[in-house]
Amino acid sequence: MTDRVAYDEFSYFHENAAEYGLPYDGPPTVRRTTVDLGDGRNLSALVWGTDEPELVLVHGGAQNAHTWDTVAMALGRSLVAVDLPGHGHSDGPKEGATTDPVSNAADVAVAVQALAPNALGVVGMSLGGMTSIALADAHPELVRRLLLVDVTPGVTGNKASQIIAFVNGPESFPSFDEILERTVQFNPTRTVESLRRGILHNAVQREDGSWVWRHARHRAMQAPEEGAAKRDFGSLWDMVSRYSGPLMLARGMRDQSVVTDEDEAELLKRRPDARVEHVAEAGHSLQGDTPLELAALIDDFIPRP
């Protein structure tokens, strides 16, 4: 009989707190909810707190809403963290690739309108940042402030080659130890404990004991040319130019970052009023590498009411 790994998505918050020295007097108030997209699909999200959400957090490609757990705990604010289409607990995209920001934004808009229509700002990381740009262009009333986490429309397959290599790895893994070993290999700046926790949130164990990434379940829906390695996000630069709300880029400065000096210069050319913050000890995943620093930047850029 195959050993099953027990999983309760709300049972790890004490680990997040302990790893980063956050005060902890019991689990935070968090619930999972789903939003009907009107076409037979649902978008899943985590709702933090009991007050009207102040923030919307949108994760990167091949991630899920739990990537924000430490940030959310450090913030202590009511917020919504969505699972993008084809990620986490959300259904797959209506059609095409899970890496299409415009398609993703159409689905995320339905969820934001339902769960956080008066949010003070949207924080988007990587693919979630691209999606948030498209969301701001189509529904500026939902994006009062926009914080991009280590991404601009200048991202390319070459710049993100290490990330793409990880995402495009084996479709499944025979054991938890093997999926953990590969994850550690590609994430040298993270603790093994945090990566183990991340895998439990981001993968599922099959009946035969093997493990598959949640996002990998939708690979069959997209042709190879539709993947992130081939997609051109350059058309989103015009959306950046059109967006009139306050804009900020939080850029990781370690090698894993996908933002270059040229990308930053293009952002400031199009939006001279944009705020740019460099986070020295972070790579691409600021929420994973430096969650407390990112939480402080969010608090500063999107003030509490």
Hey, which residues are catalytic here?
126, 150, 284
What is the SS3 string spanning the chain? CCCCCCCCCCCCHHHHHHHHCCCCCCCCCEEEEEEECCCCCEEEEEEECCCCCCEEEECCCCCCHHHHHHHHHHHCCCEEEECCCCCCCCCCCCCCCCCCHHHHHHHHHHHHHHHCCCCCEEEEECHHHHHHHHHHHHCHHHCCCEEEECCCCCCCCCCCHHHHHHHCCCCCECCHHHHHHHHHHHCCCCCHHHHHHHHHHHEEECCCCCEEECHHHHHHHCCHHHCCCCCCCCCHHHHHHHCCCCEEEEEECCCCCCCCHHHHHHHHHHCCCCEEEEECCCCCCHHHHCHHHHHHHHHHHCCCC
